[in-house]
């Protein structure tokens, strides 16, 4: 029997997040793990008159890629994805990993090369999205791998995910529209200010938001959602932050990451676990050691760490910063092949 929550979830993605219209070319990125979700999204895109294009992965695909692909070709740009990001009207990404630790021991140099080789795709997403020419959303389909990572049983995790996106409700869109109104109050309080200071057991940091714009994130690009974010003035960060949760990127888990900033740049990066990967990523390119995003998590429905950034960066009472590429609509001028969010809980 089909789960009615799945149909509701797909409707949120197709009608609310990406607002699919007749004739829209829709790039759907997912894996074989999310087949039930894919079928529902695919069907609903067709019903709206859209043209769905699929990029499917199998569970071991990326692991095999970074093991067997020689270093130089690893930087090859995904031409199918580039075409979609540069010309299509919409993109729906459904994360659905079977094994969240599959890339823990993958070659970090190859991963950096891959990120750099595909940096123009991320740039297209940010620039066309900011201009309103590209409607995109990223979400997650519950898998046993994610449930294990979150320390939950699979059924418990399914309930957690569907509740977080408000799929079981009669009118989930009404909820996300109410979040927009609530979060506007915080943005109004921040507008016109210059200096932000963060002080606590795990942070002593200052930065500037002068002439920068806070964006209200209420479910159009991420589902679930619940944050406000901006691009800090690139050379304004000074001080340090110790991230209270593991920083996860490309399946690699960095524990106890601590960054020190001088005039915006990371001048020292340490970690209890995978410090090598942390430093590899901060040295990807000229922009990877600067912060492209500064954000406050405001979603009190997400009250625990799950190990997945889509949920964890929204934890009410936390802030996060992303090394690398910033969102042009916030005023960020930072360009990079990476966009790596790291979270510090202030509760």
79 with 225, same domain: the answer is no
pLDDT at residue 32, rounded to an integer: 96
Q: Is the pLDDT of residue 325 over 80?
A: yes
Rg (CA), the chain: 19
339 with 250, same domain: the answer is yes
pLDDT at residue 268, rounded to an integer: 97
Q: Is residue 195 part of a domain?
A: yes
CA 245 – CA 276 distance, rounded (Å): 18
- In sign, the C-alpha dihedral spanning 272, 274, 279, 283 is negative
The domain tally of the chain equals 2
- Which of 94, 81, 98, 99 has its CA nearest to residue 36? 94
95 with 30, same domain: the answer is yes
Q: CATH number, domain at 141? A: 3.40.1830.10
50 with 127, same domain: the answer is yes
CA 81 – CA 155 distance, rounded (Å): 33
Q: What is the pLDDT of residues 38-49, one digit of tens each?
A: 999 999 999 999
152 with 185, same domain: the answer is no
- Which H, E and C letters describe 199-238, residue by residue? EECCEEEEEECCCCCCEEECCCCEECCCEEEECCCCCCCE
pLDDT at residue 1, rounded to an integer: 58
CA 137 to chain centre: 10
Boundary-marking domain end, from 144, 165, 186: 165
Selected residue with higher pLDDT from 249 and 266: 266
The per-residue pLDDT of the chain, averaged, comes to 94
Q: What is the mean pLDDT of residues 74-99?
A: 94
Q: Is residue 170 part of a domain?
A: no
Q: What is the pLDDT of residues 268-287, one digit of tens each?
A: 999 999 999 999 999 999 99
119 with 12, same domain: the answer is yes
146 with 48, same domain: the answer is yes
Q: What is the mean pLDDT of residues 140-164?
A: 95
Residue 115's pLDDT band, with cuts at 50, 70 and 90, is confident
Q: Is residue 139 part of a domain?
A: yes
Q: Is the pLDDT of residue 333 over 70?
A: yes
Q: What is the mean pLDDT of residues 181-195?
A: 95
130 with 180, same domain: the answer is no
Q: Is the pLDDT of residue 150 over 70?
A: yes
The answer to whether the peptide bond before residue 7 is cis (omega within 30 degrees of 0) is no
Boundary-marking domain end, from 165, 190, 218: 165
Domain range for 73 is 4-165
């Amino acid at each position: 029997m089909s789960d009615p929550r799945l149909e509701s979830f797909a409707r949120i993605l197709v009608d609310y997040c990406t607002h699919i219209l007749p004739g829209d070319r829709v790039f759907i990125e997912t894996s074989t793990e999310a087949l039930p979700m894919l079928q529902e999204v695919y069907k609903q895109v067709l019903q709206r008159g859209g043209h769905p294009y699929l990029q499917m992965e199998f569970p071991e695909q990326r692991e095999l890629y970074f093991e067997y692909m020689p270093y130089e070709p690893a930087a090859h740009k995904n031409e199918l994805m580039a075409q979609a990001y540069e010309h299509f009207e919409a993109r729906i990404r459904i994360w659905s990993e079977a094994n969240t630790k599959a890339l823990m021991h993958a070659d970090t140099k190859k991963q950096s090369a891959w990120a750099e080789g595909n940096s123009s795709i991320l740039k297209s997403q940010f620039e066309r999205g900011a201009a309103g020419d590209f409607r995109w959303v990223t979400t997650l389909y519950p898998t046993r791998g994610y449930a294990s990572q979150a320390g939950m049983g699979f059924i418990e995790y399914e309930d957690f995910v569907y509740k977080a996106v408000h799929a079981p409700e009669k009118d989930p869109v009404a909820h996300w529209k109410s979040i927009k109104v609530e979060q506007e109050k915080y943005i109004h309080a921040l507008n016109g200010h210059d200096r932000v200071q963060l002080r606590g057991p795990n942070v002593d940091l200052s930065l500037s938001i002068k002439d920068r714009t806070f964006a209200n994130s209420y479910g159009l690009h991420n589902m679930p959602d619940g944050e406000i974010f901006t691009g800090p003035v690139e050379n304004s960060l000074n001080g340090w932050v110790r991230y209270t949760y593991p920083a996860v990127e490309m399946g690699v888990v960095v524990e106890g990451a601590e960054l020190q900033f001088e005039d915006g740049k990371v001048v020292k990066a340490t970690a209890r676990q995978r410090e090598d990967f942390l430093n590899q990523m901060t040295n990807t390119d000229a922009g990877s050691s600067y912060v492209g995003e500064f954000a406050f998590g405001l979603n009190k429905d997400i009250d625990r760490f799950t190990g997945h950034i889509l949920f964890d960066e929204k934890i009410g009472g936390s802030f996060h910063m992303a090394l690398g590429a910033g969102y042009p609509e916030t005023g960020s001028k930072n360009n990079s092949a990476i966009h790596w969010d790291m979270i510090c809980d202030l509760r």
